A = this chain, B = another copy of it.
């Protein structure tokens, strides 16, 4: 380990684990300039997760649940980049490029891995394409916009079936994050719908899917039951012992084959190891990096790990710590102390921590909490929730902003403006189960489809014109001639497709002659044997 004038600590990850490690190091090495701290984070802010559900309803301003990392740890060099690779052998971390396409490499004496985990929909067909994840700030915004868009469309939709699907909102996962999300969503769509003149609040259906027999398995049964009853009274339909198996653009598919027709499916369930962590060669336990009680990664001196990406043993109980913010924060302090001990040759601390409690907000002035063994529910729990999290929210300016948001939210109506993010013309993905209509004759030709796997059939009236499989494309005719679809395309099996939107297609088609020739050939053949 470098005992030189400058010891370089490099922290990977801008969540609670990473940022609080930097903060603790700055505190421990107050007037000591011999420590150089670097932090690589995708975003330049720390998201205060407990308040994230309130972004959906807008009761907290979008920017107020996040705190600039630079303010929290002013003496740390922040690299707002993505980590591309970690080379433990040569002690080098490579980041993504910025304005210029140059790779950027950083070396270290101590490496702190705090990369968390990621949402992973790969096990359930169609979720990647059609479910909305809920983990990052961006997800909260996307969900909010999506809900408002669904209300906008329902307001002018005349077909009853489509209207019902637009007004059905499904959340999968009855743990803390799913319950908090469904509570906020339910409050928001019911209050927000009043501003839509053609929507009746009675038409709105909010469904929570949960795999177990009772929601909130993290809490004692009495509290979980309280929460469950409260949500049901507020109009949330709770489906217990129910598994989400897949999704298409039209519905959520439950295990057993039941379909819930919806345009809004939010999934909080599957989390998987960060691919960067998965690529490391060190020992892992269920995808989490194994560390000793000092938070060191065995066999890699100078490498540390904490938070959701690490299996941190509590040395008293021997159990791995749960993946919560309060644990990550305590681990960060212990880890920072141990880095100091390592540099100064003093004694390291072993990690031990008893969780202080658990709380879950249920929206609309209600919550459940178990704190120091006491159980609380309803309004009092809600007041405590707000008070405790406001105190925990890092940064005085944020505390003031959130307190103000909460006050205004009490007196002002909910916001229903939809803030569309600018999107590049692009390539998307979609998933269809067998027997679905991908587009109908007469529809607008708004994109090209390329079959990734599965089979589709092209139908005109009652006649099947042909079948298409992987590597083949359809839908180009309506794009090239700017006319409505001249046939219907259905999935014959479970199908995955790439979609190329009109703008992207025209740009490529116009400017890449070999590609134009390719499509001209395809279309010529189709005209001979008319298909689509």
Residues of A within 8 A of B (CB): 43-45, 58, 61-63, 66-68, 70-71, 74-75, 77-80, 97-104, 137-138, 141-142, 148-150, 152-153, 155-157, 162, 166, 195-198, 263, 397, 400-401, 404, 408, 411-413, 415-429, 439, 443-446, 450-452, 470-471, 473, 484, 498, 500, 503-504, 507-508, 511-515, 518
Contact = CB atoms under 8 A, between A and B. Distances in A.
Contacts of A156: 77, 79, 104
A427 B138 CA distance: 22
Contacts of A498: 507-508, 511-512
B450 A512 contact: yes
A26 to B, nearest CB: 12
Contacts of A404: 404, 408
17 contacts: A61-B61, A61-B63, A68-B195, A70-B197, A77-B197, A99-B162, A99-B166, A100-B443, A397-B412, A421-B422, A421-B423, A427-B503, A427-B508, A451-B511, A498-B508, A498-B511, A514-B518
A102 B511 contact: no
Contact of A155 (B78, B141, B157): B78
B415 A63 contact: yes
B439 A101 contact: yes
The A interface, classified by DSSP as helix, strand, loop or mixed, is mixed
Given A197-B74, A408-B400, A263 B424 contact: no
A97 B63 contact: no
A58 B63 contact: yes
Contact of A418 (B62, B80, B439, B507): B80
A425 B417 CA distance: 26
Give the oligomeric copy count: 2
Chain B CB within 10 Å, residue with most, of A157, A417, A419: A417
Contacts of A471: 511-514
A45 B514 contact: no
B43 A422 contact: no
A504 B412 contact: no
A153 B99 contact: yes
A142 B427 CA distance: 21
Contacts of A77: 155-156, 197-198
B423 A197 contact: no
Contact of A424 (B79, B411, B419, B427): B427
Contact of A425 (B427, B439, B513): B427
Nearest to A519: B514
B397 A401 contact: no
Contacts of A508: 427, 450, 498, 500
A440 B136 CA distance: 35
Contacts of A44: 148, 152, 416-418
Contacts of A421: 138, 421-423
Contacts of A511: 450-452, 470-471, 498
A84 to B, nearest CB: 9
Nearest to A445: B101
A407 to B, nearest CB: 9
B446 A101 contact: yes
A404 B513 CA distance: 57
Given A153-B99, A166-B99, A412 B401 contact: yes
A427 B62 contact: no
A135 B104 CA distance: 35
Given A99-B263, A103-B444, A62 B419 contact: yes
Nearest to A396: B412
Q: Which 7 A-B pairs have the closest CB atoms?
A: A424-B426, A421-B421, A426-B426, A45-B417, A397-B412, A471-B513, A80-B152
